[in-house]
Amino acid sequence: MAIERTLSILKPDALEKGAIGKIISRFEHAGLIPIAVRLQHLSTKEAEGFYAVHKDRPFFKDLVSFMTSGPVVLMCLEGENAVAKNRELMGATDPKKAAPGTIRADFAKSIDANTVHGSDSLENAKVEVSYFFRTTELFSYSHKK
């Protein structure tokens, strides 16, 4: 399996629940290493640009409004099969459909306030990581067991 990088966002509801540590701990436990971490309050422009692919969807306005309602944690996660592994840990977009034990099943309230975002393909991961981080802000390291 290849070492990949993916973008993870802990959304405003994750921060309001005091769940930053619990969620990052799940990633670390699964071998997804945060190689860049930043707390940021997204502007409307930044959120609209990030979610531009959804701009014609009926939920776009609510999505941007929610993502700018409070600070988020932006992370680049690195590890084997990182894109798929992150999505497996997150669970389905709609928390009602998320498998038990996944982040969204355990923390999310609704499809809008669904606690985490993760890139959905390796190609998008590259675009999304570079949307928020410069190459010089990514610091690879390994877990020594």
Check: CB of residue 114 under 8 Å from CB of residue 67. Answer: no
Site for ligand CMP (CB under 6 A): which residue of 30, 37, 105, 111?
111
Note whether 131 binds ligand CMP by CB under 6 A.
no
Dihedral over Cα of 114, 61, 119, 142: its sign:
negative
| Continuous H helices in the chain | 12-16, 20-29, 44-50, 60-67, 82-90, 103-107, 122-132
**Which CB sits closer to ligand CMP, 85 or 117?**
117
Check: CB of residue 42 under 8 Å from CB of residue 72. Answer: yes
Active site residue 41: no
Note whether 114 binds ligand CMP by CB under 6 A.
yes
Site for ligand CMP (CB under 6 A): which residue of 5, 87, 104, 117?
117
Binding positions for ligand CMP, 9-48, rule CB under 6 A: none
Q: Which residues bind ligand CMP (CB under 6 A)?
A: 54, 59, 63, 93, 111-112, 114, 117
Active site positions, annotated: 117
